[in-house]
Amino acid sequence: MSEEMAPLKRDYLPEDLQPLLKAAGFDGSIAVEARQNLEETRWLLEIAERHEFIKGVVGWLDLCSPDLPAQLERFGTHAKLVGVRHVLHDEPDDNFMLRPEFLRGIARLKECGLCYDLLLFPKHLRAASRLAQEFPDQVFVLDHIAKPRIADGIVSPWREDLQRLTQSQNVFCKLSGMVTEAHWNRWEASEFLPYLEVVMEAFSPHRLMVGSDWPVCTLSGSYASTVQIVIEYLHQFPAAVQAGVLGRNCARVYGIESVESRPESR
């Protein structure tokens, strides 16, 4: 980790998150990979088995590997594995997700009922649009609204490229990751309004879900203040819209059963 990420250099475990969820009114969470490592995927599934409030896991599998069928056989049938993610925005090749070997990996996910989380910067949105069009039956979830440059107040071309991506109805979006794209610990909730409105218009409420990006969000705000940005924004919408974004859409997209109210998506 870089020096600015040093506060994250400790263990963050289920017992740290559960009281935060409860205080915010959430019944559960989706745990999402942080390391591109099969051992971490195994560990996340293990703790999900021990903690009922962890409703699902978006893990990492090597989609480019010839060993992917064996990895899917090992992990793909686990009841709590709901999706896969790769840190695409750290790849030197901006078109990494369009490589033939990656596309072959994506093609294998639907047979296991797995979503694919897109972890991108704005510059990757056009490639993501091509990927989503290539696999219209594969569910994709855009993480962190693609990390627009909120601190600089820049909306375009992120807005236009996002709108192009949303033309694929198989793409959903997490309202998350915004506080770390603003000035750390010096933001106002009003700064996020233009970005929330773009995403709401582009996706429509039934394709959106709340997220926190915890514990990364703690670099720029508390868990409570981070999720409150979305909760307060939603007050202007009908109760059914609020219930969808605050949990039901997440449960539907990731195929989570027995959700009592609103699972939160990291």
- pLDDT higher at 6 or 220: 220
Side chain identity, residue 101: E
Predicted confidence at residue 262, as pLDDT, reads 43
* Mean pLDDT for all residues in the chain: 95
Q: pLDDT grade, residue 4 (50/70/90)? A: confident
Q: Mean pLDDT over residues 132-146, rounded? A: 98
Rounded to the nearest 10 degrees, the angle between the axes of helix 223-233 and helix 193-203 is: 60
Residue 102, token pair as written in the block: 């990656």
pLDDT at 258 over 60: no
**pTM beyond 0.85:** yes
Band the pLDDT of 257: cuts 50, 70, 90.
confident
Q: Which pLDDT belongs to residue 265?
A: 47
pLDDT in tens, 231-253: 999 999 999 999 999 999 999 99
Domains within the chain, CATH numbers bracketed? 13-265 (3.20.20.140)
* Local confidence band at 2 (pLDDT 50, 70, 90 cut-offs): confident
pLDDT tens-digit map of 77-101: 999 999 999 999 999 999 999 999 9
Does 260 have pLDDT greater than 70?
A: no
Percent of the chain with pLDDT over 70: 97
